[in-house]
Amino acid sequence: MNDSDTLLIKNIGILVGVYDTAPGVLSGEKMNRLPVLDNAWLAVAGEKIAGFGPMAECPAEDNFRLVFDACDGWLFPCFCDSHTHLVYPGSRDGEFRDKIAGMSYEEIASRGGGILNSADLLNRTSEDDLYLSASHRLRQCMSFGTGAIEIKSGYGLTTEGELKMLRVIRRLRDDFPQIEIRSTFLGAHAVGRAYIGRQGEYVDMIIREMLPAVAAERLADYVDVFCDNGFFTVDETARILEAAKPYGLRPKIHANELAVSGGVQVGVTHNALSVDHLEHITDDEIEALMGSDTIPTMLPGASFFLGLPYGNARKVIDAGMPLALASDYNPGSSPSGSMRFVSSLGCIKMHLTPEESISAVTVNGAAAMGLDNIGAIVPGFYASFFLTTPLPSLAYLQYAYTEPLITRVFLKGHSI
Ligand code: NIG
Ligand code: FE
Protein backbone atom coordinates (compact mmCIF):
# COMPACT_ATOMS: atom_id res chain seq x y z
CA MET A 1 0.00 0.00 0.00
CA ASN A 2 1.41 3.39 -0.96
CA ASP A 3 1.50 5.50 2.20
CA SER A 4 0.88 8.73 0.34
CA ASP A 5 -2.49 7.46 -0.84
CA THR A 6 -4.06 6.01 2.24
CA LEU A 7 -6.99 7.20 4.28
CA LEU A 8 -8.60 5.81 7.41
CA ILE A 9 -12.11 6.80 8.38
CA LYS A 10 -12.71 5.96 12.01
CA ASN A 11 -15.69 6.09 14.37
CA ILE A 12 -18.32 5.44 11.71
CA GLY A 13 -21.63 5.14 13.59
CA ILE A 14 -23.11 2.75 11.01
CA LEU A 15 -21.39 1.60 7.82
CA VAL A 16 -24.17 0.91 5.30
CA GLY A 17 -24.21 -1.51 2.37
CA VAL A 18 -21.25 -3.72 3.30
CA TYR A 19 -20.56 -6.90 1.34
CA ASP A 20 -17.53 -9.22 1.24
CA THR A 21 -17.72 -9.49 -2.53
CA ALA A 22 -19.53 -7.67 -5.34
CA PRO A 23 -23.24 -8.17 -4.67
CA GLY A 24 -24.32 -7.82 -8.31
CA VAL A 25 -27.83 -6.59 -9.05
CA LEU A 26 -30.16 -7.14 -6.07
CA SER A 27 -33.52 -8.74 -6.84
CA GLY A 28 -36.74 -9.13 -4.87
CA GLU A 29 -36.21 -9.82 -1.18
CA LYS A 30 -32.46 -9.24 -1.44
CA MET A 31 -33.14 -5.54 -1.89
CA ASN A 32 -34.45 -5.41 1.66
CA ARG A 33 -31.40 -7.11 3.19
CA LEU A 34 -29.08 -4.16 3.43
CA PRO A 35 -26.08 -5.35 5.44
CA VAL A 36 -24.64 -2.81 7.89
CA LEU A 37 -21.80 -2.73 10.39
CA ASP A 38 -22.05 -0.80 13.68
CA ASN A 39 -19.21 1.32 15.04
CA ALA A 40 -16.80 0.73 12.17
CA TRP A 41 -13.65 1.85 10.39
CA LEU A 42 -13.03 1.99 6.64
CA ALA A 43 -9.65 2.12 4.90
CA VAL A 44 -9.00 3.58 1.46
CA ALA A 45 -5.97 2.97 -0.76
CA GLY A 46 -5.81 5.28 -3.78
CA GLU A 47 -9.20 5.21 -5.51
CA LYS A 48 -10.38 1.99 -3.92
CA ILE A 49 -11.77 0.63 -0.66
CA ALA A 50 -8.99 -1.36 1.03
CA GLY A 51 -10.95 -2.81 3.93
CA PHE A 52 -13.35 -2.21 6.80
CA GLY A 53 -14.19 -3.67 10.17
CA PRO A 54 -15.37 -2.98 13.71
CA MET A 55 -13.65 -0.21 15.69
CA ALA A 56 -12.47 -2.81 18.24
CA GLU A 57 -10.12 -4.02 15.46
CA CYS A 58 -9.17 -0.66 13.99
CA PRO A 59 -5.72 -0.63 12.34
CA ALA A 60 -3.03 1.67 13.80
CA GLU A 61 -3.53 5.26 12.68
CA ASP A 62 0.14 5.86 11.84
CA ASN A 63 -0.20 3.44 8.90
CA PHE A 64 -2.27 6.07 7.13
CA ARG A 65 -1.47 9.40 5.55
CA LEU A 66 -4.85 10.83 6.51
CA VAL A 67 -7.21 9.96 9.34
CA PHE A 68 -10.75 11.24 9.32
CA ASP A 69 -12.99 11.01 12.38
CA ALA A 70 -16.62 10.38 11.35
CA CYS A 71 -17.70 11.21 14.94
CA ASP A 72 -20.46 8.56 14.85
CA GLY A 73 -21.88 9.83 11.56
CA TRP A 74 -23.15 7.18 9.11
CA LEU A 75 -21.35 6.20 5.92
CA PHE A 76 -23.37 5.29 2.81
CA PRO A 77 -22.16 4.09 -0.59
CA CYS A 78 -22.52 6.84 -3.21
CA PHE A 79 -25.71 7.21 -5.20
CA CYS A 80 -25.59 5.75 -8.73
CA ASP A 81 -27.94 7.73 -10.97
CA SER A 82 -28.58 5.59 -14.05
CA HIS A 83 -30.83 7.99 -16.01
CA THR A 84 -30.26 11.71 -16.54
CA HIS A 85 -30.41 14.35 -19.25
CA LEU A 86 -28.21 16.84 -17.43
CA VAL A 87 -26.66 18.38 -20.53
CA TYR A 88 -29.22 20.96 -21.62
CA PRO A 89 -29.33 24.67 -22.40
CA GLY A 90 -31.19 27.20 -20.27
CA SER A 91 -34.21 25.86 -18.42
CA ARG A 92 -37.95 25.53 -19.05
CA ASP A 93 -39.23 27.74 -16.30
CA GLY A 94 -41.39 29.53 -18.91
CA GLU A 95 -43.41 26.35 -19.45
CA PHE A 96 -43.58 25.85 -15.71
CA ARG A 97 -46.31 28.51 -15.62
CA ASP A 98 -48.38 26.59 -18.23
CA LYS A 99 -47.78 23.39 -16.32
CA ILE A 100 -48.94 24.71 -12.97
CA ALA A 101 -51.95 26.29 -14.68
CA GLY A 102 -52.96 22.74 -15.64
CA MET A 103 -51.49 22.03 -19.09
CA SER A 104 -50.25 18.44 -19.48
CA TYR A 105 -46.75 17.39 -20.60
CA GLU A 106 -48.22 16.08 -23.88
CA GLU A 107 -50.17 19.33 -24.51
CA ILE A 108 -47.04 21.41 -23.99
CA ALA A 109 -45.08 19.09 -26.30
CA SER A 110 -47.75 19.10 -29.03
CA ARG A 111 -47.66 22.93 -29.11
CA GLY A 112 -44.00 22.68 -30.12
CA GLY A 113 -42.84 23.29 -26.57
CA GLY A 114 -41.22 20.69 -24.39
CA ILE A 115 -38.24 18.84 -25.82
CA LEU A 116 -38.33 20.87 -29.09
CA ASN A 117 -38.12 24.07 -27.08
CA SER A 118 -34.87 22.84 -25.49
CA ALA A 119 -33.63 21.56 -28.87
CA ASP A 120 -34.10 24.98 -30.51
CA LEU A 121 -32.07 26.60 -27.78
CA LEU A 122 -29.44 23.86 -27.83
CA ASN A 123 -28.78 24.36 -31.52
CA ARG A 124 -28.16 28.07 -30.82
CA THR A 125 -25.87 27.38 -27.84
CA SER A 126 -22.11 26.89 -28.17
CA GLU A 127 -20.46 23.69 -26.99
CA ASP A 128 -18.51 25.70 -24.41
CA ASP A 129 -21.64 27.27 -22.91
CA LEU A 130 -23.36 23.91 -22.83
CA TYR A 131 -20.35 22.42 -21.10
CA LEU A 132 -20.34 25.20 -18.52
CA SER A 133 -23.95 24.75 -17.43
CA ALA A 134 -23.68 20.94 -17.48
CA SER A 135 -20.50 20.97 -15.39
CA HIS A 136 -22.27 23.15 -12.83
CA ARG A 137 -25.12 20.58 -12.60
CA LEU A 138 -22.67 17.70 -12.42
CA ARG A 139 -20.80 19.33 -9.53
CA GLN A 140 -24.10 19.82 -7.78
CA CYS A 141 -24.96 16.10 -8.20
CA MET A 142 -21.55 15.16 -6.80
CA SER A 143 -22.11 17.38 -3.78
CA PHE A 144 -25.45 15.57 -3.26
CA GLY A 145 -23.55 12.27 -3.00
CA THR A 146 -23.76 10.91 -6.55
CA GLY A 147 -20.63 9.01 -7.61
CA ALA A 148 -21.80 7.44 -10.88
CA ILE A 149 -24.13 8.93 -13.46
CA GLU A 150 -25.53 8.23 -16.90
CA ILE A 151 -26.09 11.20 -19.20
CA LYS A 152 -28.10 11.19 -22.42
CA SER A 153 -28.07 13.26 -25.59
CA GLY A 154 -31.49 14.02 -27.10
CA TYR A 155 -31.82 17.80 -27.16
CA GLY A 156 -29.93 18.19 -30.43
CA LEU A 157 -32.25 16.26 -32.76
CA THR A 158 -29.92 17.20 -35.61
CA THR A 159 -26.73 15.27 -36.29
CA GLU A 160 -24.63 18.28 -35.38
CA GLY A 161 -26.61 18.99 -32.20
CA GLU A 162 -26.51 15.39 -31.00
CA LEU A 163 -22.75 15.21 -31.59
CA LYS A 164 -22.31 18.50 -29.74
CA MET A 165 -24.13 17.10 -26.69
CA LEU A 166 -22.20 13.84 -26.75
CA ARG A 167 -18.90 15.72 -27.03
CA VAL A 168 -19.90 17.73 -23.96
CA ILE A 169 -20.55 14.45 -22.10
CA ARG A 170 -17.10 13.24 -23.17
CA ARG A 171 -15.51 16.45 -21.89
CA LEU A 172 -17.29 15.99 -18.57
CA ARG A 173 -15.93 12.44 -18.43
CA ASP A 174 -12.40 13.68 -19.08
CA ASP A 175 -12.58 16.61 -16.67
CA PHE A 176 -14.41 14.92 -13.77
CA PRO A 177 -12.64 11.58 -13.35
CA GLN A 178 -13.87 11.31 -9.72
CA ILE A 179 -17.37 10.48 -10.95
CA GLU A 180 -18.09 7.51 -13.22
CA ILE A 181 -19.95 8.76 -16.31
CA ARG A 182 -21.74 6.69 -18.94
CA SER A 183 -23.08 8.21 -22.12
CA THR A 184 -26.27 7.37 -24.02
CA PHE A 185 -27.28 8.41 -27.54
CA LEU A 186 -30.94 9.50 -27.58
CA GLY A 187 -31.44 10.92 -31.07
CA ALA A 188 -34.98 9.48 -30.92
CA HIS A 189 -36.11 11.68 -28.06
CA ALA A 190 -38.52 13.64 -30.30
CA VAL A 191 -38.80 14.28 -34.04
CA GLY A 192 -36.41 17.09 -34.97
CA ARG A 193 -38.07 20.35 -36.02
CA ALA A 194 -37.05 19.98 -39.71
CA TYR A 195 -38.76 16.57 -39.88
CA ILE A 196 -42.10 17.34 -38.27
CA GLY A 197 -44.78 15.39 -40.17
CA ARG A 198 -42.07 13.08 -41.57
CA GLN A 199 -41.33 10.93 -38.56
CA GLY A 200 -40.35 7.87 -40.66
CA GLU A 201 -37.76 9.94 -42.51
CA TYR A 202 -36.37 11.21 -39.20
CA VAL A 203 -35.93 7.61 -38.04
CA ASP A 204 -34.23 6.80 -41.39
CA MET A 205 -31.87 9.73 -40.81
CA ILE A 206 -31.02 8.56 -37.28
CA ILE A 207 -30.06 5.19 -38.71
CA ARG A 208 -28.29 6.44 -41.84
CA GLU A 209 -26.52 9.50 -40.48
CA MET A 210 -26.55 9.92 -36.70
CA LEU A 211 -25.69 6.41 -35.51
CA PRO A 212 -22.62 6.00 -37.77
CA ALA A 213 -21.36 9.48 -36.79
CA VAL A 214 -21.80 8.77 -33.07
CA ALA A 215 -20.09 5.40 -33.43
CA ALA A 216 -17.21 6.83 -35.50
CA GLU A 217 -16.23 9.10 -32.61
CA ARG A 218 -17.08 6.43 -30.00
CA LEU A 219 -19.23 8.96 -28.22
CA ALA A 220 -21.84 6.67 -26.68
CA ASP A 221 -21.99 3.58 -24.47
CA TYR A 222 -25.73 2.99 -24.87
CA VAL A 223 -28.67 3.82 -27.15
CA ASP A 224 -32.07 5.09 -26.04
CA VAL A 225 -35.45 5.71 -27.71
CA PHE A 226 -38.47 7.48 -26.22
CA CYS A 227 -40.95 4.71 -27.01
CA ASP A 228 -44.28 6.17 -25.95
CA ASN A 229 -47.59 7.71 -26.92
CA GLY A 230 -47.00 10.64 -29.26
CA PHE A 231 -43.28 9.92 -29.57
CA PHE A 232 -41.74 6.79 -31.20
CA THR A 233 -43.61 3.57 -32.01
CA VAL A 234 -42.55 0.05 -31.13
CA ASP A 235 -41.63 -0.62 -34.79
CA GLU A 236 -39.52 2.52 -35.01
CA THR A 237 -37.87 1.65 -31.71
CA ALA A 238 -37.06 -1.86 -32.96
CA ARG A 239 -35.52 -0.45 -36.15
CA ILE A 240 -33.25 1.92 -34.22
CA LEU A 241 -32.19 -0.72 -31.68
CA GLU A 242 -31.39 -3.19 -34.49
CA ALA A 243 -29.33 -0.58 -36.30
CA ALA A 244 -27.43 0.29 -33.11
CA LYS A 245 -26.51 -3.30 -32.34
CA PRO A 246 -23.59 -3.67 -34.79
CA TYR A 247 -22.03 -0.61 -33.14
CA GLY A 248 -22.14 -2.37 -29.77
CA LEU A 249 -24.70 0.04 -28.34
CA ARG A 250 -26.92 -1.81 -25.87
CA PRO A 251 -30.36 -0.27 -25.31
CA LYS A 252 -31.49 1.62 -22.21
CA ILE A 253 -34.88 2.90 -23.21
CA HIS A 254 -37.69 5.24 -22.16
CA ALA A 255 -40.81 3.09 -21.90
CA ASN A 256 -44.37 3.41 -20.58
CA GLU A 257 -44.12 6.91 -19.13
CA LEU A 258 -47.29 8.19 -20.75
CA ALA A 259 -49.06 4.92 -21.63
CA VAL A 260 -48.64 1.16 -21.90
CA SER A 261 -46.55 1.55 -25.04
CA GLY A 262 -45.03 -1.86 -25.79
CA GLY A 263 -41.70 -0.28 -24.88
CA VAL A 264 -40.89 -2.84 -22.20
CA GLN A 265 -41.39 -5.76 -24.57
CA VAL A 266 -39.34 -4.25 -27.39
CA GLY A 267 -36.61 -3.43 -24.87
CA VAL A 268 -36.48 -6.95 -23.47
CA THR A 269 -36.49 -8.45 -26.99
CA HIS A 270 -33.41 -6.38 -27.79
CA ASN A 271 -31.67 -7.29 -24.51
CA ALA A 272 -31.92 -3.79 -23.07
CA LEU A 273 -29.78 -3.15 -20.02
CA SER A 274 -32.72 -1.24 -18.54
CA VAL A 275 -36.23 -0.10 -19.36
CA ASP A 276 -36.94 3.20 -17.66
CA HIS A 277 -39.98 5.15 -16.40
CA LEU A 278 -42.66 2.41 -16.18
CA GLU A 279 -45.30 4.70 -14.71
CA HIS A 280 -47.62 2.31 -16.56
CA ILE A 281 -46.91 -1.34 -15.89
CA THR A 282 -49.29 -4.30 -16.20
CA ASP A 283 -48.92 -8.05 -15.71
CA ASP A 284 -47.81 -8.30 -19.36
CA GLU A 285 -44.77 -6.10 -18.65
CA ILE A 286 -43.93 -8.10 -15.52
CA GLU A 287 -44.15 -11.30 -17.54
CA ALA A 288 -41.92 -9.87 -20.27
CA LEU A 289 -39.29 -8.77 -17.72
CA MET A 290 -39.32 -12.01 -15.75
CA GLY A 291 -36.22 -14.05 -16.45
CA SER A 292 -34.66 -11.32 -18.62
CA ASP A 293 -31.42 -9.41 -17.92
CA THR A 294 -33.22 -6.09 -18.27
CA ILE A 295 -33.36 -3.95 -15.13
CA PRO A 296 -36.68 -2.21 -14.50
CA THR A 297 -35.94 1.41 -13.56
CA MET A 298 -38.38 3.96 -12.19
CA LEU A 299 -38.05 7.74 -12.09
CA PRO A 300 -40.29 9.07 -9.34
CA GLY A 301 -39.02 12.63 -9.76
CA ALA A 302 -40.90 12.79 -13.10
CA SER A 303 -44.13 11.53 -11.47
CA PHE A 304 -43.69 14.14 -8.74
CA PHE A 305 -43.10 17.03 -11.14
CA LEU A 306 -45.64 16.07 -13.83
CA GLY A 307 -48.33 14.76 -11.49
CA LEU A 308 -48.22 11.35 -13.19
CA PRO A 309 -49.00 8.12 -11.39
CA TYR A 310 -46.00 6.63 -9.60
CA GLY A 311 -44.64 3.37 -10.99
CA ASN A 312 -45.85 0.27 -9.18
CA ALA A 313 -42.53 -0.56 -7.57
CA ARG A 314 -44.01 -3.10 -5.17
CA LYS A 315 -45.36 -5.14 -8.06
CA VAL A 316 -41.85 -5.38 -9.52
CA ILE A 317 -39.99 -6.18 -6.29
CA ASP A 318 -42.66 -8.54 -4.97
CA ALA A 319 -42.43 -10.46 -8.25
CA GLY A 320 -38.78 -11.13 -7.32
CA MET A 321 -37.24 -8.68 -9.78
CA PRO A 322 -34.63 -5.96 -9.27
CA LEU A 323 -35.56 -2.29 -9.32
CA ALA A 324 -33.36 0.76 -9.85
CA LEU A 325 -34.47 4.31 -9.11
CA ALA A 326 -32.93 7.28 -10.94
CA SER A 327 -33.41 11.04 -11.05
CA ASP A 328 -34.23 11.64 -14.76
CA TYR A 329 -32.61 15.06 -14.17
CA ASN A 330 -33.90 17.15 -17.12
CA PRO A 331 -35.49 20.56 -17.71
CA GLY A 332 -38.97 19.33 -18.68
CA SER A 333 -40.07 16.59 -16.32
CA SER A 334 -37.59 16.42 -13.46
CA PRO A 335 -35.46 19.51 -12.83
CA SER A 336 -33.57 17.95 -9.91
CA GLY A 337 -30.57 15.67 -9.59
CA SER A 338 -31.08 14.92 -5.90
CA MET A 339 -30.93 11.16 -5.43
CA ARG A 340 -31.78 11.59 -1.76
CA PHE A 341 -35.08 13.08 -2.81
CA VAL A 342 -35.56 10.20 -5.28
CA SER A 343 -34.91 7.75 -2.45
CA SER A 344 -37.46 9.57 -0.26
CA LEU A 345 -40.05 9.46 -3.04
CA GLY A 346 -39.32 5.73 -3.38
CA CYS A 347 -40.37 5.28 0.24
CA ILE A 348 -43.13 7.87 0.53
CA LYS A 349 -44.85 7.40 -2.82
CA MET A 350 -43.83 3.91 -3.96
CA HIS A 351 -43.87 2.12 -0.61
CA LEU A 352 -40.32 0.85 -0.73
CA THR A 353 -38.72 0.11 2.62
CA PRO A 354 -35.76 2.40 3.43
CA GLU A 355 -33.45 -0.58 2.80
CA GLU A 356 -35.02 -1.36 -0.60
CA SER A 357 -34.83 2.28 -1.55
CA ILE A 358 -31.10 2.47 -0.75
CA SER A 359 -30.45 -0.69 -2.80
CA ALA A 360 -32.40 0.89 -5.69
CA VAL A 361 -30.40 4.15 -5.72
CA THR A 362 -26.96 2.58 -5.20
CA VAL A 363 -26.01 -0.91 -6.30
CA ASN A 364 -28.98 -1.45 -8.64
CA GLY A 365 -28.43 1.96 -10.21
CA ALA A 366 -24.82 0.97 -10.83
CA ALA A 367 -25.95 -2.28 -12.47
CA ALA A 368 -28.34 -0.30 -14.68
CA MET A 369 -25.23 1.49 -16.03
CA GLY A 370 -23.27 -1.74 -16.45
CA LEU A 371 -21.04 -0.93 -13.43
CA ASP A 372 -20.06 -3.60 -10.91
CA ASN A 373 -17.42 -1.80 -8.83
CA ILE A 374 -19.28 1.09 -7.23
CA GLY A 375 -22.41 1.68 -5.13
CA ALA A 376 -21.60 -0.71 -2.27
CA ILE A 377 -18.95 -0.97 0.44
CA VAL A 378 -16.80 -3.82 -0.85
CA PRO A 379 -12.99 -4.21 -0.78
CA GLY A 380 -11.73 -3.28 -4.25
CA PHE A 381 -14.76 -1.14 -5.12
CA TYR A 382 -14.30 2.57 -5.77
CA ALA A 383 -14.01 4.51 -2.53
CA SER A 384 -17.06 6.59 -3.43
CA PHE A 385 -19.35 7.26 -0.49
CA PHE A 386 -20.84 9.97 1.67
CA LEU A 387 -20.95 10.65 5.38
CA THR A 388 -23.90 12.00 7.32
CA THR A 389 -24.49 13.38 10.78
CA PRO A 390 -25.33 10.68 13.36
CA LEU A 391 -28.82 9.40 12.44
CA PRO A 392 -31.46 8.00 14.80
CA SER A 393 -32.23 5.24 12.26
CA LEU A 394 -31.74 4.35 8.60
CA ALA A 395 -35.23 5.61 7.77
CA TYR A 396 -34.26 9.11 8.94
CA LEU A 397 -32.33 9.67 5.70
CA GLN A 398 -35.52 9.40 3.62
CA TYR A 399 -37.87 10.75 6.29
CA ALA A 400 -36.09 14.07 6.87
CA TYR A 401 -35.95 14.71 3.14
CA THR A 402 -34.96 18.37 3.21
CA GLU A 403 -32.60 18.28 6.19
CA PRO A 404 -28.99 18.74 5.05
CA LEU A 405 -27.69 15.53 6.62
CA ILE A 406 -24.75 14.88 4.28
CA THR A 407 -21.59 16.26 5.84
CA ARG A 408 -18.92 15.09 3.38
CA VAL A 409 -18.65 13.28 0.06
CA PHE A 410 -15.66 11.16 -0.99
CA LEU A 411 -15.45 10.09 -4.62
CA LYS A 412 -12.72 7.66 -5.68
CA GLY A 413 -10.91 8.37 -2.43
CA HIS A 414 -11.00 12.16 -2.71
CA SER A 415 -13.02 14.50 -0.57
CA ILE A 416 -14.94 16.78 -2.90
O1 NIG B 1 -37.42 11.27 -19.28
N2 NIG B 1 -39.65 11.36 -21.36
C3 NIG B 1 -38.81 11.81 -22.10
N4 NIG B 1 -37.75 12.52 -21.78
C5 NIG B 1 -37.59 13.17 -20.55
C6 NIG B 1 -38.22 14.51 -20.56
C7 NIG B 1 -37.45 15.42 -21.39
C8 NIG B 1 -37.97 16.81 -21.46
O9 NIG B 1 -39.17 17.07 -21.28
O10 NIG B 1 -37.12 17.66 -21.72
C11 NIG B 1 -38.06 12.29 -19.45
O12 NIG B 1 -39.03 12.56 -18.74
FE1 FE C 1 -35.63 10.55 -19.24
Domains defined along the chain, listed by start: 6-77+376-415 (2.30.40.10), 80-367 (3.20.20.140)
* 369 pLDDT higher than 60: yes
CB of 302 closer than 6 angstroms to any ligand 1 atom: yes
- % of the chain at pLDDT higher than 70: 99
Tell me if 115 CB under 6 Å of ligand 1: yes
Looking at the predicted structure, is the pLDDT value of residue 5 above 80? Answer: no
d(CA 331, ligand 1 centre) in Å:
8
Alpha carbons 94 and 12: distance in angstroms, whole number: 45
**Cα gap 300→350, rounded to integer Å:** 8
Q: How far is the CA of 330 from the centre of ligand 1 (A)?
A: 7
Compute the distance from residue 144 Cα to the ligand 1 centre, in Å.
22
Q: Which residue among 93, 153, 189, 231 has the greatest number of ligand 1 atoms within 8 angstroms of its CB, and so is best to mutate? A: 189
- The answer to whether 297 and 274 have CB atoms below 8 angstroms apart is yes
pLDDT at res. 344: 98
Residue 246 binned pLDDT confidence (cut-offs 50, 70, 90): very high
* Amino acid at site 402: T
User: Is residue 375 scored above 70 in pLDDT?
Assistant: yes
Locate the ligand 1 atom nearest the alpha carbon of residue 331 and give its number.
10
pLDDT in tens, 193-230: 999 999 999 999 999 999 999 999 999 999 999 999 98
The residues that bridge with 45 in the sheet, in sequence order, are 6, 48
89 alpha carbon, closest ligand: 1
**What residues have CB less than 8 Å from 193, skipping those under 6 apart?**
116, 119, 120, 157
More confident residue, 370 or 1: 370
81 pLDDT higher than 80: yes
Tell me what the pLDDT averaged over the chain comes to. 96
Whether the pLDDT of residue 156 is over 90: the answer is yes
- Atom 1 (ligand 1) nearest CA: 328
The ligand placed nearest to the CA atom of residue 154 is 1
**Which of 234, 296, 225, 298 lies closest to 261, judged by CA?**
234
224 Cβ below 6 A of ligand 1: no
Cα of 35 to ligand 2 centre, how many Å? 31
Residues 308, 302 contacting (CB under 8 angstroms): yes
Across the range 91-99, mean pLDDT stands at 89
What atom in ligand 1 is closest to the CA of residue 118? Answer: 10
The predicted structure's pLDDT at residue 4: 57
Mean pLDDT along residues 395-408: 98
**Ligand 1 atom closest to residue 88's alpha carbon, by position in its atom list:** 10
Q: Among 91-105, 242-256, 336-350, which stretch is predicted with the lowest mean pLDDT?
A: 91-105
Q: What HEC string does the chain produce?
A: CCHHHEEEEEEEEEEECECCCCCCCCEHHHHHCCCEEEEEEEEEECCEEEEEEEHHHCCCHHHCCEEEECCCCCEEECEEECCCCCCCCCCCHHHHHHHHCCCCHHHHHHCCCHHHHHHHHHHHCCHHHHHHHHHHHHHHHHHCCEEEEEEECCCCCCHHHHHHHHHHHHHHHHHCCCCEEEEEEEEECECCHHHCCCHHHHHHHHHHHHHHHHHHCCCCCEEEEEECCCCECHHHHHHHHHHHHHHCCEEEEEECCCCCCCHHHHHHHCCCCEEEECCCCCHHHHHHHCCCCCEEEECHHHHHHHCCCCCCHHHHHHCCCECEECCCCECCCECCCCHHHHHHHHHHCCCCCHHHHHHHHCHHHHHCCCCCCCCCECCCCECCEEEECCCCCCCHHHHCCCCCCEEEEEECCEEC
**What is the CA(112)–ligand 1 centre distance, in A?**
14
Q: How far is the CA of 237 from the centre of ligand 1 (A)?
A: 16
CA distances, 76 to each of 126, 143, 328, 348 (Å) = 38, 14, 22, 20
Indicate whether 42 pLDDT > 70: yes
Count of C-beta atoms within a 10 Å radius of residue 260: 17
Ligand 1 atom closest to residue 228's alpha carbon, by position in its atom list:
2
- On the question of pLDDT at 38 being above 60, the answer is yes
Task: Give the integer Cα–Cα distance in Å for 212 and 228.
Answer: 25
User: If you take atom 10 of ligand 1, which residue's CA is the nearest one?
Assistant: 332
User: Does residue 3 register a pLDDT over 70?
Assistant: no
Asked if residue 356 has its Cβ within 6 Å of ligand 1, the reply is no
Q: 346, 79 in Cβ contact below 8 A?
A: no
Residue nearest to atom 12 of ligand 1 (CA): 333
Q: Give residue 115 CA to ligand 1 midpoint distance, Å.
A: 7
Kindly state if the Cβ of 254 falls inside 6 Å of ligand 1.
Answer: yes
The residue-averaged pLDDT of 284-299 equals 97
Share of the chain above pLDDT 90, in %: 91
Confidence band of 110 (pLDDT split at 50, 70, 90)? confident
Q: Is the pLDDT of residue 113 over 90?
A: no
Q: Is the CB of 331 under 6 A from ligand 1?
A: yes
Nearest residue (by CA) to ligand 1, atom 11, is: 333
pLDDT computed for residue 1 by the predictor: 45
- How many Å lie between the centroid of ligand 2 and the Cα of residue 74? 31
**The Cα angle at residue 252 between residues 264 and 88, in degrees rounded to 5:** 120
> What number is the average pLDDT over the span 41-61?
97
333 lines ligand 1 (CB under 6 A): yes
Q: Report the pLDDT value the prediction gives residue 109, as an integer from 0 to 100.
A: 80
